[in-house]
Amino acid sequence: MIWTLPLVPALAGLAIWAMGDRPGRALPGAAAFFAAAATLLLAAMLPEGAAPLHWAPGLELRAGLPPMARAVAITVAGVGMAVLLYAAAQEAATGLGRLLGIMLIFVGGMQMVVIADDLLALLIGWEVMGACSWALIGHRWRESAPMRSANYAFVMTRAGDIGLFVALFAVFAGTGSTSYAALGQLEGGMLGVAAWGLLVAAASKSGQLPFAPWLFRAMDGPAAVSALLHSAAMVAAGVYLLARLGPDLAAAPGFAPGALAVGLATAVAGGVVAIRQTHAKKLLAGSTSAQMGLMIAAVGAGFPGVAILHLVVHAAFKAALFIAAGIAHHATGSHDLRDMALGRAMPRVALLVLPAAFSLAAVPPLAGGWSKEEILKALEAAGPVASALGVLAGGLSAAYAARFAILAFGLGREERLPVPAAARAAMLLLGAATLALSLLWVPTVSEAVLDWLGAAAPRGSTGWLIASLAAMGAGLMAGWAGARAPSAPPHHEWLGLSALVDAAIVSPFDWMSRHAARLDDAVIDGMGVPRRDDVPPGRGALALAVRGATGTASLAARFDDAWIDGQRVTPRSRLTPGHATRPAPGGGAIALLTRATAALARIAGRGGEAISDLIPEGSGRVAGLVGADLRRVQTGMAHHYYALLLAGTFAGALFLIFGG
Amino acid sequence: MLTLSVLLPLLAAIALALLPRIGDRMARLLAVVFTALPMVLLLAVWMTDPPSGGFAAQFEAPWIPSLGIAWRVGVDGMSLALALMSALIFLAAAAWPMQIARARAYYAWILFLTGVSLGLFVTLDLVIFYVFFDLSLVGMYFLIGRWGHGDAQHAALKFFVYTLAGSLLILIAIIVLALSMPELTFDMRAIIAAPPLAALADGGTVVPGLVLLALVVGFGIKTPLFPLHTWLPPAHVNAPGPASAILAGVLLKMGTYGLVRLGLQMMPETFARWAFWIALLALASILWGAIVAYAQPNLKRRIAYTSVNHMGYTVLGIAVAGSAAGTETARALALTGAVVEMIAHGLITGALFLVAGVFWKRTQDYEIAHYGGLAEEAPRLAMMATLAAFASLGLPGLAGFVAELHIFLGAFAVYPWVAAAGLLGLLITAALFLQLLRAVFFGPRPAEGGVARFADLDRTEMAILSALLALVVLIGIWPLWLLELIDAATILAAPGGGG
């Protein structure tokens, strides 16, 4: 049952979260570690196929574990084990249960993405992961910054998720199904919509341009969270999605060049961002964007299998580097690389950083070297410009890897600083994984792995290999020099992209929203808002309608007085000021009737005078009293409404019944 | 059984109103019992006589035979689901702890509203429908006006007059519909089976168009649809928490329910002709509601405007379902989504307004900026509010997602551009809810001018909110039972069910 793969960590996470902080460190830490280990076993042993879940009428959730998915599933669980171990060892005791629990749920969400065999199941895992990342980045919610950053990251990634929604709807509208198989049957425009939607979604999740700044903001989360988010899960989801669906999407118009462009632009820009950073975690975050960019470019070049292998290799060493950054921050209380130089203070950690850093720098014979060379070979298929940019990105990665390692774990501080054994064990696990993955340099091993994945091996030329090795060498030198030279933090976050997003999207939206709200109060309604002086009453559409109704009603009242009645109205003191202009007596229907009656009476003779006088005076008095009452009633707003509503109702009813 | 579920709360309301010796606690107990009983009865209907392709549990008693008016009740999947959800919201509102003056009258009005609202959903007679529609205004008018705060009188009057104007339009439409039948009748079943104004299609499209316009405006005010929504925020802000929950959870649904029953089912051809324009109106509501909500500094006004947004999704689903375009599957999906959205919005926004009521009860302050870091003192409240907020912004695994997914799946196949633009609403809602959560529950406590002390949810409040949100989670994870109950395909497949 493949569905257990997301369920086991998610349920275990809920249980650990529910236990809270009372059990201390060891018990929840061990529970989380073994839950991740169980997930790893499941990922390795579960069968490839599964029965679809009947989720809703006409909608099924499908899952599968093809080799590519299995490779990533194992990676996610393995990195999860190490990171949870580190978190239990060193993250703050307050809220540790929640942290570990949500990290496990997050792993479950990622596993859902990995096993998904249709876009709906994918979307569910994708968004659950997004929500967990929000809670994890905002883990230290008592401070002011983390929750702001969590909101930023969630909204930024959700903006990209709209692409995933669009892709899902396009596939469903085109084929009546949401499965990956149906995606493969799409053609033409619909395929284009789906492919670009997925590309946008992947770019946002994987921290690509123009969504990259959220990765920096995500650094407000604890180190363990960064280690998980920026290696095997979250950012990896975008790359995995494109690699998994790459063969189906390749035919879409503009997809391959689009993926290449996004990936390579981010690979170079992320490298430039990283190389100037003095904040340890932000340096690594910039490098994450860059490495993900290389993978997406490989998908664009038509080699998704290579992208997946680099994803696996990158996850192992990047998680180790983030854990090292976390250990360094814990020891020094600072994220500033210039305050670290911990080589002598924690030599065993420094030793464990070496393979990870060299792997990031792509130095042979470490695993990162192999997978990066494979990507460069893949890029050759996309032309010399792509290759040149790839080589440049590779050189940059060597530079920032060297700079990070030397600044953070070079020689400097003398006093020994304690590091929890479990934290070191986590790094040891990841280091061992990196070393094991380095076996990919052995041709028989790499051929077997590529065979298993069903992936093609790219062919490269010697010229570009030499160029790449030269760039790496130059990069290492540059990084070494950069670590020696005094450096200042860059003025602009992410080359000014953060500020651009603020200025071009966030601020205008704030402005628009504020004005829309005022418009809503002042123009659409306009009846006035209590305790708000900036919304003058009486000028909105609704206010005008109401005023029209009351105006009509008071006109009708005046007409009533002047033309229908026309008698002198008594007593005058009951009149309201609004009705001060009163008609001259004697011109209305009742008055005329009265006069006519009076005249008749005079003609009829004196005998009947007494009787006929009664008629005009009596009726006049009654009419006057009714008129006064009516007028009093008409001063209330509600009744003005009624007058118009009833009149309108009857007119409308008459028209509809007889007019049609 | 359906009749009983309407009569019991009404009788209890009369009893509460007439017997002065009932104490406050007794009044609340009675209210809880007599809102729970209809729910049990409705559940019994679902268990014993589930609607399958038509109206179940029908009952008819003559009233004014000469005019074709009778006490007719019966439920299909949509109305049974809505009635069940309403009963649950009323139960929650009755059980919600309140310290108020004149409690006996308060609970009497709640019971009155229970009977009237359930009656509206289960009746099959247009005149009774109209009567209940108007009576619901009366009940809510008194709940807001007498037990509200701030400018409650003004807000209640605005609500009453505005929606009454809408209901008068509905009355005209109902009369025209009934008069156009070959034989005068107000029986919904008969009118749905043979939509009368379709016969006028030989040239006359003005009258059916005007009738539909009357329905859209009338129900649009109640729903509320942009630009007829401005009565909603003041009504919510000044209403007591449970009344807000009822207003958002139950009364707004009367608008969309009416739009399906009367607009879509009784004049399908006219509806199909105007479906695109209704969809545009829905899109305007989706975007406008979200954008305006984002700028609201008042907690309750912000939630109120998200109702405009969510009801916009519902109307979009209804418009798609009623359009003649697209496949049968797509339209059924959209209608399913619309009905699920009604249920989900009722539960989620009901919970959110109860949460807002918690704030008023403790501090008499809805100003978002006056709070901060409340998760420290009120972790249970923070948890519930976060869950409800994520449900409202459409996170998978929660009920709102199921609704919006279905609506958009259907809408994309029929009006792709409208649907794509509507997706922006999902993004803005996420931003505004997260901003709200952060400002109220997280970060440091405000240095000065803020709220000093805040008590967490007590046991009753916790139990009520958990029950509502548990259902939200259940629907989100395993929606099949609800979708099979609603069975939207049969609503569309009924004769005249939509083109």
DSSP code string of A391-427: HHHHHHHHHHHHHHHHHHHSS---S-----HHHHHHH
| C-beta separation of A266 from A289 below 8 A | yes
| C-beta separation of B237 from B150 below 8 A | yes
Distance (Å, whole) CA A13 – CA A135: 13
Q: Is the pLDDT of residue A573 over 50?
A: no
Q: A520 CB near a chain B CB, below 8 Å? A: yes
- Quick one: CA torsion of A540, A542, A547, A550, rounded to 10 degrees? -170
Query: How many CA atoms within 13 Å lie on the side-chain side of A250?
Result: 13
> Which residue, among A371, A207, A408, A409, has the nearest Cα to A288 in the 3D structure?
A207
Residue of A nearest to B479 (CA): A56
CB contact under 8 A, A660 and B206: yes
Residues of B in contact with A158 (CB under 8 A): 426-427, 430
AA letter at B52: S
How far off is chain B from A260, nearest CA to CA, in Å? 26
Residues of B in contact with A109 (CB under 8 A): none
Whether pTM > 0.95 for this model: the answer is no
Nearest to A165 among B158, B376, B408 (CB): B408
Q: Is residue B393 part of a domain?
A: yes
Strand partners, B298: B367
pLDDT for the residue B335:
93
CB contact under 8 A, B483 and A123: no
How far off is chain B from A169, nearest CA to CA, in Å? 5
How far off is chain A from B210, nearest CA to CA, in Å? 8
Residues of A in contact with B169 (CB under 8 A): 652
User: Which of A:174-203 have CB within 8 Å of B?
Assistant: 176
User: Which of A:118-177 have CB within 8 Å of B?
Assistant: 120, 123-124, 127-128, 131, 134, 138, 141-144, 147-148, 150-151, 154-155, 158-159, 162, 165-166, 168-170, 172-173, 176
Nearest to B151 among A54, A525, A530 (CB): A530
**Average pLDDT over every residue of A616-638:** 55
Q: Is the pLDDT of residue A643 over 80?
A: no
Residues of A in contact with B329 (CB under 8 A): 58, 176
Distance (Å, whole) CA A294 – CA A375: 7
Phi, psi of A650 (to 5 degrees): -65, -45
Q: Is residue A51 part of a domain?
A: no
SS3 call for A570: coil
Other CB atoms within a 10 A radius of the CB of residue A412 amount to 16
CB contact under 8 A, B207 and A143: no
Distance (Å, whole) CA B173 – CA B219: 11
Q: Which residues constitute the domain of residue A554? A: 541-659
pLDDT tens for B144-200 read 988 988 888 888 888 888 888 899 999 999 999 888 888 888 999 888 888 887 655
pLDDT level of residue A572 (50, 70, 90 thresholds): very low
pLDDT-wise least confident of A142-156, A411-425, A531-545, B52-66 = A531-545
pLDDT tens for A230-240 read 888 899 999 99
CB contact under 8 A, A657 and B406: no
**Average pLDDT over every residue of A33-40:** 94
pLDDT tens for A336-354 read 888 887 878 888 888 899 9
Q: Is residue A287 part of a domain?
A: no
Nearest to B291 among A513, A529, A657 (CB): A513
pLDDT level of residue A641 (50, 70, 90 thresholds): low
pLDDT for the residue A532:
53
In what helix (H) or strand (E) does residue A625 lie, and over which residues does it extend? Answer: helix A609-633
CB contact under 8 A, A142 and B373: yes
Query: How many CA atoms within 13 Å lie on the side-chain side of B385?
Result: 29
Nearest to A656 among B165, B210, B416 (CB): B210
> Which residue, among A258, A241, A223, A436, has the nearest Cα to A333 in the 3D structure?
A223
Q: Is the pLDDT of residue A531 over 60?
A: no
Q: Is residue A576 part of a domain?
A: yes
Strand partners, B59: B73
pLDDT tens for A178-198 read 999 888 888 888 899 999 999
Residues of chain B with pLDDT under 70: 198-204, 448-452, 493-499
pLDDT tens for A272-282 read 988 888 888 99
Q: Is residue A484 part of a domain?
A: no
Q: Which residue has the higher pLDDT, A261 or A601?
A: A261
Query: How many CA atoms within 13 Å lie on the side-chain side of A556?
Result: 16
CB contact under 8 A, A169 and B412: yes
Q: Which residues constitute the domain of residue B63? A: 2-493
Q: Is the pLDDT of residue A575 over 50?
A: no
Which of A105, A122, A147 is best to mutate for the B interface (most B CBs within 10 A)? Answer: A147
CB contact under 8 A, B175 and A657: yes
* Residue A635 neighbours by CB under 8 Å, 6+ apart: A576, A578
Q: Is residue A555 part of a domain?
A: yes
pLDDT tens for B100-151 read 888 888 999 999 999 999 999 999 999 999 999 999 999 999 999 889 888 8
How far off is chain B from A136, nearest CA to CA, in Å? 14
| C-beta separation of B300 from B237 below 8 A | yes
Q: A532 CB near a chain B CB, below 8 Å? A: no
Q: Is residue B498 part of a domain?
A: no
Strand partners, A293: none
For residue A342, what is the DSSP state?
Answer: -
Q: Name the token pair of B158.
A: 């605005």
- Cα A584 to chain centroid distance, Å, stands at 72
Q: Name the token pair of A50.
A: 């599964």
AA letter at B412: F
Distance (Å, whole) CA B241 – CA A242: 47
CB pairs under 8 A between A and B: 155
Residue of A nearest to B285 (CA): A520
Conformation bin of residue A494: beta by default, left when phi > 0, alpha when psi is -120 to 50 = left
> Which residue, among B359, B451, B381, has the nearest Cα to B149 in the 3D structure?
B359
Residues of B in contact with A58 (CB under 8 A): 329, 333
pLDDT for the residue B162:
87
Which of B427, B436, B474 is best to mutate for the A interface (most A CBs within 10 A)? Answer: B427
Q: Name the token pair of B254.
A: 């009367």
Q: Is residue A591 part of a domain?
A: yes
pLDDT tens for A189-230 read 889 999 999 999 999 999 998 898 898 888 888 999 999 998
How far off is chain B from A5, nearest CA to CA, in Å? 17
Q: How many domains does chain A divide into?
A: 1
**Average pLDDT over every residue of A247-267:** 91
CB contact under 8 A, B406 and A144: no
CB contact under 8 A, A516 and B292: yes
Q: What's chain B look like in SS3?
A: CHHHHHHHHHHHHHHHHHCCCCCHHHHHHHHHHHHHHHHHHHHHHHHHCCCCCCCEEEEEEEEEHHHCEEEEEEECHHHHHHHHHHHHHHHHHHHCCCCCCCHHHHHHHHHHHHHHHHHHHHECEHHHHHHHHHHHHHHHHHHHHHHCCCCHHHHHHHHHHHHHHHHHHHHHHHHHHHHHCCCCCCEHHHHHHCCHHHHHHCCCCHHHHHHHHHHHHHHHHHCCCCCCCCCHHHHHHHCCHHHHHHHHHHHHHHHHHHHHHHHHHHCHHHHHHHHHHHHHHHHHHHHHHHHHHHCCCEHHHHHHHHHHHHHHHHHHHHHHHHCCCCCHHHHHHHHHHHHHHHHHHHHHHHHHHHHHHHHHHHHCCCEHHHCCCCCCCCHHHHHHHHHHHHHHCCCCCCHHHHHHHHHHHHHHHHCHHHHHHHHHHHHHHHHHHHHHHHHHHCCCCCCCCCCCCCCCCCHHHHHHHHHHHHHHHHHHHCCHHHHHHHCHHHHHHCCCCCC
pLDDT for the residue A492:
77
| C-beta separation of B84 from B46 below 8 A | yes
Nearest to A660 among B207, B413, B435 (CB): B207
pLDDT for the residue A648:
66
CB contact under 8 A, B172 and A158: no
Other CB atoms within a 10 A radius of the CB of residue A24 amount to 12
Phi, psi of A144 (to 5 degrees): -85, -35
Q: How many domains does chain B divide into?
A: 1
Q: Is residue B499 part of a domain?
A: no
Residues of A in contact with B486 (CB under 8 A): none
Q: Is residue B116 part of a domain?
A: yes
Q: Name the token pair of B406.
A: 């279905």
Which of A520, A535, A550, A654 is best to mutate for the B interface (most B CBs within 10 A)? Answer: A520
Residues of A in contact with B406 (CB under 8 A): 56
SS3 call for A116: strand
Q: A545 CB near a chain B CB, below 8 Å? A: no
In what helix (H) or strand (E) does residue A60 lie, and over which residues does it extend? Answer: strand A59-61
